[in-house]
Structure 1
Amino acid sequence: MAADGTHSTNAPDPLTAKATPAPPPHVVASLDQVSVRRYTTGQVILDDITWTVRAGEHWALLGANGAGKTTILRLIGALMHPTTGTVDVLGHRLGRVDMRELRARIGLVSSAQKVPLDATAHTVVLTGHTGTVQPLWRKYDADVRDRAHALLAELEIKELADRPYGVCSGGQRARILVARALMADPSLLLLDEPFNALDLPSREDLIDAMHRLAVTRTGLATITVTHHLEELSPAIDHVLLLKEGRVLASGTAVDVLIADRMTECFGRPIAVSRHEGRWLARSGRH
């Protein structure tokens, strides 16, 4: 209202005012011109990799054996340094941060993880709080123990709490390891071939679990290394395609997972299809 009692014409019209655009999701991991070489042989494992992962994105790393997928995961997981280039994870640059402290903030799931076979599922999840193989019982108060139970329930395996890890099925073990990785409440979850050796029902249970996590934990970023498109949940929205240590393609799944690019990546005709959000790759030969 103006001083003379009339309405001011300076106020913005709500019908024509433009909404302020939301800020882009923050970066959780980035590689800038990264290369990795073996010192003993000079072999190039990664060559000039530039890549960015943002909060809430779900990436698949695809490529033939030896393409460099696991090496990229080891870099982002703060398990190694690049030969050249820079790696930033959760706002910290490798080489300027305590790698052990950084690793404690990153969730990692791998079938190669060492887990005591006689420990119960609940105990295995508890060890995610301390980042140790064996439990450190004095570190687990009532709240931590309750959180471990809650994560087992979130992964729909609460009935396994008192079951020894060694007698659990492959699919059950995979979900226990996901729950363990979530104990640190990470904003970045790395999955290194989590479907390895799983039968069809176990694979589908894990895919469903990963899809639920993507829906309920909207800020969580995930990176999944796999060899098979059918192992990707509908939540996977981005793909990094690697060939011989270099980026062949990077972007949204619908732009990268096309026959021509998959054929170039794997060196044989590949046909790609999609049904209800799930991907399938097969030989394009007839």
Structure 2
Amino acid sequence: MLFDVHQLTAGYGGEDVIKDISLTVQEHEIFGIIGPNGSGKSTLLKCMYRGLETDSGSIEIDGRALLTYSNKDLAKKIAVLPQHTETTFSYTARQVVELGRYPHQSGWFNNTKIEDKRIVDKAMQETRVESFADLPMETLSGGEKQRVLLARALAQEPQILLLDEPTNHLDISHQMNLLNTLREWTSAGKITVVAILHDLNMAAMFCDRLMLLDEGRDAGTGKPGTVLKKDKIEEVYAASVNRKSPSCCS
């Protein structure tokens, strides 16, 4: 067990958004979080990287309480790709990716080491952003920015990658490339992924396990085939579902 969330409750302004959530994430798996808008997906993910204070419950990484990690030590464990990220200054794509090496350095003004450069280059190659490495971030499309931010997360060399709608802004080709890459990394034992996904077909194809959230509560956790039942999805999403791929969702 790598990530352990136990009876977690959290929200905003005194109103609970997620309620009594428990889950475990195993090493080198892709764990997907699904559910309709407003079901608490992003709130749960924020708690998992200490972006939101919890009201009750506990979170552990490698058997150690999340709250006991320093910010820098936590950044060596977890990299985050949030749904919305803006860069305040005019950085090039490469400079943004290089920021991912900060947790492994002793200060902001260290000279980039050869090993840091190798890791940054590799992250950029794997996310296919080398062609616009020297372009300012503000000149890039939404999909290109998303890939640069993913490269930055990979440059951290984390154990766990937390992704909030990672395929947002990406066309279908880049969506498939990204999810295939995540699958390759987890299969090779390089990383563990927790991802919020809206596309249920992609969740079924690429995730080892899923948690379905319904109004902040766990409506089902397990293998995609056990979670993505037609009647359950219709109930939670309040929409009619035509199942086209029995092999994924039966």
TM over 0.5: yes
Tell whether the 8 Å contact from 1:121 to 1:164 is kept in structure 2 after alignment: yes
TM-score, length of structure 1 as denominator length:
0.76
RMSD: 2.5
The 5 A counterparts of 1:1-286 are 27-38=1-12, 40=13, 42-99=14-71, 101-115=73-87, 118-130=90-102, 136-216=108-188, 218-232=189-203, 234-274=205-245
Q: Deviations over 1:109-159 (max 9, x none)?
A: 12412335732222111001116xxx9452522221221012111223333
Name the CA distance, whole Å, in 2 between partners of 1:171 and 1:197.
5
- The structure number with the bigger radius of gyration is 1
Name the CA distance, whole Å, in 2 between partners of 1:96 and 1:117.
31
TM-score, length of structure 2 as denominator length:
0.86
Q: Which has the higher contact order (CA 8 A, sep 6+)?
A: 2
Name the CA distance, whole Å, in 1 between partners of 2:125 and 2:11.
43
Name the CA distance, whole Å, in 2 between partners of 1:229 and 1:76.
22
Q: In 2 relative to 1, CA 181–37 (structure 1 residues): closer, same or farther, beyond 3 Å?
A: closer
Name the CA distance, whole Å, in 2 between partners of 1:110 and 1:219.
21
Query: Partner letter of residue 228 of structure 2?
Result: L
Deviates more, 1:47-56 or 1:229-238: 229-238
Question: The residue matched to 1:270 in structure 2 has which SS?
Answer: coil
Q: Figure out how many residues of one structure are paired with residues of the other and give that number.
A: 246
Name the CA distance, whole Å, in 2 between partners of 1:181 and 1:74.
16
Question: The residue matched to 2:222 in structure 1 has which SS?
Answer: strand
Name the CA distance, whole Å, in 2 between partners of 1:254 and 1:276.
8
Name the CA distance, whole Å, in 2 between partners of 1:104 and 1:51.
22
Name the CA distance, whole Å, in 1 between partners of 2:180 and 2:168.
16
More helix by share: 2
Q: Deviations over 1:149-198 (max 9, x none)?
A: 12111223333322332223333222221111112211110111122233
Tell whether the 8 Å contact from 1:78 to 1:99 is kept in structure 2 after alignment: no
Name the CA distance, whole Å, in 2 between partners of 1:67 and 1:91.
28
Query: Partner letter of residue 2 of structure 2?
Result: V
Q: In 2 relative to 1, CA 160–274 (structure 1 residues): closer, same or farther, beyond 3 Å?
A: farther
Name the CA distance, whole Å, in 1 between partners of 2:125 and 2:247.
27
Tell whether the 8 Å contact from 2:143 to 2:169 is kept in structure 1 after alignment: no
Identity %: 25
Name the CA distance, whole Å, in 2 between partners of 1:195 and 1:46.
24
Name the CA distance, whole Å, in 2 between partners of 1:137 and 1:244.
45
Q: Deviations over 1:236-275 (max 9, x none)?
A: 1110000011100000112111212211211222233338
Question: The residue matched to 2:158 in structure 1 has which SS?
Answer: coil
1:219, distance to aligned residue in structure 2 (A): 4.4
Q: In 2 relative to 1, CA 203–251 (structure 1 residues): closer, same or farther, beyond 3 Å?
A: same
1:92, distance to aligned residue in structure 2 (A): 2.4
Which segments of 5 or more consecutive residues in structure 2 lack a partner in the other structure?
Answer: none
Question: The residue matched to 1:153 in structure 2 has which SS?
Answer: helix
Q: In 2 relative to 1, CA 80–37 (structure 1 residues): closer, same or farther, beyond 3 Å?
A: closer
